């Protein structure tokens, strides 16, 4: 899509693009994305010569794949200028807290020279014609939409200027557009709202346009608050459960005691149907559904049900048995070289993929059609799956994408939407279905349990080779990303390998000059409900790599920071590492039992580095925490990130802060304990995510300046480097390299909290931790 930088005056900002003014009652424009002029010629687009790539990601990574898949339908998303002077855009992505409605509004405001508060961003319903251009994930939204949205907005600007020229009797060159008002040199002016109808065309026409150069930006690259911040903090923001769909009543499910168990029989269905407020109680594929006047009545009814369950897919399994399966599936590291080596074997336990907002959906299914409301990151696939479940043509299923309260990969799956549709069809009534907190911890999506074995060979001051063999419980990619991989796999230089292996190779890279390096994935055991949790494989893979890097530095007698700095492959990466080392005071004297850790991670055209300080002294580890777990405390975190062009630096800082909290949790406290085929944790009260008592009191985010004209991936970047830095700091503070994560997994004394009467028939029916 872009030509080499040295062949352009000012990079992509000076490129000309084709686009369209669409036939519509008001001004509507869309991107065509075929570069106009000489830049489109094959010779101009030919990349410069370069050294052979060490990693596949240097040629193409997951973000490149997703962007390429979205490109053919980019012309189907459009910007509309309205008579009231506002600009509207239906974003074909899901806003789940990452701030993409704000960054999208910023792109439009920049190109159209309108105030940010006059840009209206909504979320598009499922649009099958977009094919692969309505999948939210992989930190790809800003990358894939950056140019198409700007082109559409720039065409609208150009058309408005042309129309204003006729209106004001002035040449286009003599007009300026600022704050939504077009002015001429003689003092005449007209607002863009007054031109919205006049600028419209009866027949679609193709035009070319030039984007605003980077040096003229007044919105992009400047820190902005979220456009939905006030609504969020005042309770006006609407999530799925806030919607008032006529006739939709609260609905919940009684779920099996083991993962993916099935209903055998229900002894008291009629009795439950007669309970106060209950309108329906029916058996569905995933349990027993109850619809009532309130969610409280749903919970009472669910607890009253007496269900005999059939075993689930993971019946009898435990952490220990799954670990045995993983070790049996590990790929060999090959012959041990004759040179000195550093080796490590690491275990990463199951982790919950629950978001802050419970899994939920509204469904209104009629005999000939269906309507769904839910926060969905893959709405097209959801629409298709719901249609199959209901036996309806896809065109008869309307899927509305609502804003969500968190995701980190969870809302790529549409489990609640499928259930809501099934229940609504079975009872013939609209439902407002919500999972209980415990449902998602025990029956929902998890980050797969995994092991990672690493061997690095060295001699003198040189690392000769690095091999990593990552083995994981199977990752479910059935949410739409697998379809993209299928569609484009024939063009990839990865051979005939599966979805997960392709995903792995497209997202993992070696940032250091470690000689001949290789990383392979093996997956086993499809008995669990897994998901694409934030960063997917990267946190575990990077954590193992950075711990081995610390060991290599120690063996070679080098400082961990200096060792990394010397072996990093490019100046951009070294700059990120140097930034945290300087800002964090690397190497300062610290008390015994405390230490610093430093780590690096690159992904999706972006680089990051983290420095943390940890306190592992007994008085800290054993400090009393009410209803919580103590353990080591991260007291300081400094994080540097270079994502290329940061559209909204303030939003980027917030994402990195969240990533740091995830990294601390994954390293120290957050995991699921598997026993007898079910997970013990049921909610945030005993799934120990980073809380106030282990959040670092000192936290700094450094957004590094970049000369890049395009954004890189950002949303997932903060987790991997932070987790690795915490692990490295713990190893230096205790003198022992950690090999099991989270570090507190094996030491937590898990005692289920008292149940709220009546006591359910099973200790793991999914509601025993309700409050």
Q: How confident is the model at residue 502 (pLDDT cuts 50, 70, 90)?
A: confident
pLDDT of amino acid 715: 65
Is the pLDDT reported for residue 499 higher than 80? no
Is the pLDDT reported for residue 71 higher than 50? yes
Q: In angstroms, rounded to a whole number, what is the distance separating the alpha carbons of residues 506 and 521?
A: 12
- SS3 at position 670: coil
Q: How confident is the model at residue 482 (pLDDT cuts 50, 70, 90)?
A: low
Higher pLDDT, 408 or 490: 408
Find the mean pLDDT for residues 659-687. 92
pLDDT of amino acid 252: 98
pLDDT of amino acid 496: 46
pLDDT tens-digit series, residues 159-188: 999 999 999 999 999 999 999 999 999 999
Q: How confident is the model at residue 542 (pLDDT cuts 50, 70, 90)?
A: very high
Is the pLDDT reported for residue 635 higher than 80? yes
Is the pLDDT reported for residue 155 higher than 90? yes
Is 630 within 8 Å of 623 (Cβ atoms)? yes
Buried b (16+ CB within 10 A) or exposed e, 263-284: beebeebeebeebebbbbbebb
Is 547 within 8 Å of 560 (Cβ atoms)? no
Q: In angstroms, rounded to a whole number, what is the distance separating the alpha carbons of residues 601 and 582?
A: 18
Q: How confident is the model at residue 627 (pLDDT cuts 50, 70, 90)?
A: confident
Choice among 212-216, 390-394, 573-577, 709-713 with the minimum mean pLDDT: 709-713
Higher pLDDT, 491 or 478: 478
Task: Please name which of 120, 108, 151 lies closest in space to residue 18, comparing C-alpha atoms.
Answer: 151
pLDDT tens-digit series, residues 73-108: 988 989 999 999 999 999 999 999 999 999 999 999
Is the pLDDT reported for residue 10 higher than 50? no
pLDDT of amino acid 534: 81
Q: In angstroms, rounded to a whole number, what is the distance separating the alpha carbons of residues 201 and 398?
A: 30
* Length of the chain in terms of residues written: 771
Contacts of 217 (CB under 8 A, 6+ apart): 110
Tokens (6 digits) for 521: 């994935």
pLDDT mean across residues, the chain? 89
Three-class secondary structure assignment of 75-144: HHCEEEECCCCCEEEEECCCCCCCCHHHHHHHHHHHHHCCCHHHEEEEECCCCHHHCCCCCCCCCCHHHH
Is 137 within 8 Å of 74 (Cβ atoms)? no
Percent of the chain with pLDDT over 70: 89
pLDDT of amino acid 769: 32
Q: In angstroms, rounded to a whole number, what is the distance separating the alpha carbons of residues 319 and 423?
A: 34
Phi and psi of 649, rounded to 5°? Answer: -55, -35
Is the pLDDT reported for residue 770 higher than 80? no
pLDDT tens-digit series, residues 293-332: 999 999 999 999 999 999 999 999 999 999 999 999 999 9
Q: How confident is the model at residue 663 (pLDDT cuts 50, 70, 90)?
A: very high
pLDDT of amino acid 51: 44
Three-class secondary structure assignment of 558-589: CCHHHHHHHHECCHHHHHHHHHHHHHCCCCCC
Q: In angstroms, rounded to a whole number, what is the distance separating the alpha carbons of residues 179 and 112?
A: 9
Is 406 within 8 Å of 97 (Cβ atoms)? yes
The radius of gyration of the chain from alpha carbons, rounded to an integer in Å, stands at 27
Give the containing element (helix H, strand E) for 446.
strand 446-447
Q: In angstroms, rounded to a whole number, what is the distance separating the alpha carbons of residues 156 and 35?
A: 17
Buried b (16+ CB within 10 A) or exposed e, 426-449: bbebbbbbbbbbbbbbbbbbbbbb
In terms of phi and psi (left: phi > 0; alpha: psi -120 to 50; beta: otherwise), the region of 724 is alpha
- SS3 at position 459: strand
Is the pLDDT reported for residue 608 higher than 80? yes
Q: pTM for this structure?
A: 0.91
Show the domains of the chain with their CATH numbers. Answer: 6-34+71-234 (3.30.365.10), 240-313+359-434 (3.30.365.10), 321-352+445-741 (3.30.365.10)
For β-strands 446-447 and 351-352, DSSP reports them as antiparallel
Cis peptide before 442 (omega within 30 of 0): no
Is 196 within 8 Å of 114 (Cβ atoms)? no
pLDDT of amino acid 36: 53
Higher pLDDT, 404 or 754: 404
Is the pLDDT reported for residue 583 higher than 70? yes
Contacts of 55 (CB under 8 A, 6+ apart): 508, 509, 510, 517
Q: How confident is the model at residue 382 (pLDDT cuts 50, 70, 90)?
A: very high
pLDDT tens-digit series, residues 728-768: 999 999 999 999 999 988 766 544 443 333 333 343 344 44
Is the pLDDT reported for residue 21 higher than 80? yes
Tokens (6 digits) for 136: 């939210």
Q: How confident is the model at residue 44 (pLDDT cuts 50, 70, 90)?
A: very low
Alpha helices in 348-455 (DSSP H): 379-390, 415-427, 437-442
pLDDT tens-digit series, residues 233-252: 999 999 999 999 999 999 99
Is the pLDDT reported for residue 560 higher than 80? yes
Task: Please name which of 763, 677, 765, 681 lies closest in space to residue 313, comparing C-alpha atoms.
Answer: 677
For β-strands 698-703 and 307-310, DSSP reports them as unpaired
Phi and psi of 206, rounded to 5°? Answer: -90, 135
């Amino acid at each position: 899509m872009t030509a080499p930088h040295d062949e352009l005056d000012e990079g992509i900002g000076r490129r000309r693009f084709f686009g369209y003014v669409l036939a519509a009652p008001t001004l509507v424009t869309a991107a065509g994305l075929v570069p106009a002029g000489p830049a489109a010629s094959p010779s101009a687009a030919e990349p410069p010569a370069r050294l052979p790539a060490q990693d596949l990601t240097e040629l193409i990574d997951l973000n490149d794949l997703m962007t390429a898949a979205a490109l053919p339908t980019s012309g189907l998303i459009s910007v509309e200028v309205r008579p009231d002077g506002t600009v509207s855009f239906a974003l074909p992505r899901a806003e789940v807290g990452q701030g993409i409605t704000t960054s999208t509004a910023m792109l439009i405001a920049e190109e159209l020279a309108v105030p940010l508060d006059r840009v209206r961003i909504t979320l598009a319903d499922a649009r099958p014609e977009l094919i692969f251009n309505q999948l939210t994930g992989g930190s790809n939204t800003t990358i894939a939409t950056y140019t198409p949205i700007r082109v559409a907005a720039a065409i609208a600007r150009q058309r408005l200027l042309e129309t204003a020229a006729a209106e004001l009797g002035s040449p286009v060159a003599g007009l300026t557009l600022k704050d939504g008002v077009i002015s001429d040199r003689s003092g005449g002016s007209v607002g863009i709202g007054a031109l919205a109808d006049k600028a419209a065309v009866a027949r679609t026409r193709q035009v070319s346009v030039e984007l605003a150069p980077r040096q003229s930006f007044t919105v992009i690259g400047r820190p902005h608050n979220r456009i939905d911040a006030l609504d969020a903090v005042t309770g006006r923001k609407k999530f799925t459960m806030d919607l008032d769909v006529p006739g939709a009543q609260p609905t919940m499910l009684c779920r099996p005691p083991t993962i993916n168990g099935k209903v055998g029989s229900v002894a008291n269905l009629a009795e439950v149907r007669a309970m106060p407020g209950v309108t329906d109680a029916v058996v569905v594929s995933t349990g027993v559904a109850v619809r009532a006047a309130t969610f409280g009545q749903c919970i009472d009814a669910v607890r009253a049900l007496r269900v005999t369950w059939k075993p689930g897919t993971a019946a009898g399994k435990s952490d220990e048995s799954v670990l045995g399966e993983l070790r049996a599936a590990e790929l060999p590291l090959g012959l041990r070289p004759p040179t000195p080596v550093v080796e490590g074997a690491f275990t990463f336990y199951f982790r919950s993929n629950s978001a802050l907002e419970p899994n939920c959906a509204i469904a209104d299914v009629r005999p000939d059609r269906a309507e769904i409301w839910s926060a969905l990151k893959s709405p097209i696939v959801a629409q298709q799956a719901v249609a199959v479940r209901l036996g309806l043509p896809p065109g008869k299923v309307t899927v509305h994408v609502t804003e969500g309260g968190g995701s980190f990969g969870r809302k790529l799956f549409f489990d609640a939407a499928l259930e809501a549709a099934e229940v609504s069809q079975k009872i013939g009534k609209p439902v407002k279905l919500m999972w209980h907190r415990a449902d998602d911890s025990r029956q929902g999506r998890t980050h797969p349990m995994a092991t990672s074995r690493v061997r690095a060979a060295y001699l003198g001051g040189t690392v000769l080779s690095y091999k990593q063999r990552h083995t994981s419980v199977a990752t479910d990619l059935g949410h739409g990303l697998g379809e993209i991989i299928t569609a484009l796999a024939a063009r990839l230089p990865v051979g005939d390998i599966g979805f997960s292996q392709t995903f792995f190779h497209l997202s993992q890279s070696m940032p250091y000059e470690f000689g001949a390096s290789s990383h392979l994935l093996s997956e086993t055991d499809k008995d669990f409900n897994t998901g694409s949790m934030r960063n997917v494989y990267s946190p575990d893979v990077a954590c193992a790599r950075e711990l081995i890097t610390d060991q290599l530095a120690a063996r070679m007698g080098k400082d961990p920071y200096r060792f990394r700095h010397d072996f990093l492959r490019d100046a951009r990466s070294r700059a990120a590492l140097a930034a945290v080392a300087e800002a964090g005071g690397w190497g300062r004297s610290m008390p015994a039992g405390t230490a610093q850790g430093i780590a690096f991670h690159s992904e999706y055209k972006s680089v990051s580095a983290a420095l943390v300080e940890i306190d592992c002294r007994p008085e800290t580890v054993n400090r009393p925490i009410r209803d919580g777990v103590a353990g080591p405390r991260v007291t300081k975190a400094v994080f540097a990130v270079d994502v290329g062009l940061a559209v909204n630096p303030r939003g980027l800082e917030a994402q990195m802060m969240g990533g740091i909290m995830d990294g601390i949790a994954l390293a120290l406290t957050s995991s699921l304990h598997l026993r007898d085929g079910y997970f013990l944790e049921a909610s945030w009260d005993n799934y120990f995510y980073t809380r106030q008592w282990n959040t670092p009191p000192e936290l700094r985010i450094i957004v590094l300046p970049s000369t890049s004209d395009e954004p890189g991936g950002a949303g997932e970047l903060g987790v991997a480097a932070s987790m690795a830095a915490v692990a490295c700091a713990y190893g230096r503070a205790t003198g022992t390299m950690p090999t099991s994560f989270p570090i507190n997994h094996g030491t937590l004394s898990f005692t289920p909290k008292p149940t709220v009467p009546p006591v359910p028939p099973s200790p793991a029916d999914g509601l025993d931790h309700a409050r």
